C-alpha cells in the first residue's frame, strides 16, 4: 500500500529550500501531508510572528502539485496526535531537527534530509532589511 508521509514547518516567505524539502518528502511515498505552524505557534517558538499570515502560508503550500493535504499545527506537544490522526508511515524533516523526533520511531519511520544550503527565511529578512 502507498506510504503516507508527513512533515511540519512554518514555510514563511516561501523559498527554494522549502520546495526542495517538500519535493523530497513527496518522493518517499504517495501521499504528502504538511503541518503548517500557526501564527501563534510561531510566536511561541521563534518570538516573532511570521511575515506571511497562516492562511496565506497554507494557500501557498497547498498549491504545490506534490502536496496532497495541509493542516495548521497549533501545538508542538501534539505531534504524536497529529501522526496518529493522519496515519503517517513516515515523518520527514530537515536536519536542523536531527534527532529531535526520534521518539516517534515507535509509530513511524523518522527521516531527516540535509537542508538546502545558503537560503533561509531569517537570512532573507536580514538581506531585505539592509537593502
Query: Where along the sequence are the contacts to ligand C2G (CB under 6 A)?
Result: 8-12, 17-18, 21, 37, 73, 76, 93-94, 96, 115-116, 119-120
Alpha helices in the chain (DSSP H): 16-27, 39-46, 54-62, 79-85, 121-129
Nearest to ligand C2G of 1, 113 (CB atom): 113
- Catalytically active residues are 45-46
Closest-approach residue to ligand C2G (CB): 94
**Residue 22 C-beta: closest distance to ligand C2G, Å:** 8
H-run or E-run covering 37: strand 31-37
Positive or negative, the Cα torsion across 2, 36, 83, 21? positive
Pairing of strands 4-9, 31-37: parallel
Rounded to 5 degrees, φ, ψ at 46 are -120, 5
**Residue 1 C-beta: closest distance to ligand C2G, Å:** 25
Amino acid at each position: 500500500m502507498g506510504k503516507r508521509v508527513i512533515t511540519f514547518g512554518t514555510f514563511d516567505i516561501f523559498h527554494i529550500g522549502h520546495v526542495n524539502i517538500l519535493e523530497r518528502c513527496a518522493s518517499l511515498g504517495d501521499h504528502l501531508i504538511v503541518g503548517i505552524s500557526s501564527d501563534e505557534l510561531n510566536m511561541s517558538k521563534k518570538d516573532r510572528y511570521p511575515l506571511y499570515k497562516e492562511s496565506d502560508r497554507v494557500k501557498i503550500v497547498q498549491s504545490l502539485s506534490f502536496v496532497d493535504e495541509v493542516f495548521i499545527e497549533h501545538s508542538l506537544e501534539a505531534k504524536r496526535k497529529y501522526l496518529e490522526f493522519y496515519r503517517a508511515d513516515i515523518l520527514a524533516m530537515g536536519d536542523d531537527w536531527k534527532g529531535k523526533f526520534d521518539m516517534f520511531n515507535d509509530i513511524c519511520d523518522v527521516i531527516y534530509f540535509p537542508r538546502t544550503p545558503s537560503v533561509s527565511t531569517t537570512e532573507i529578512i536580514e538581506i531585505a532589511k539592509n537593502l
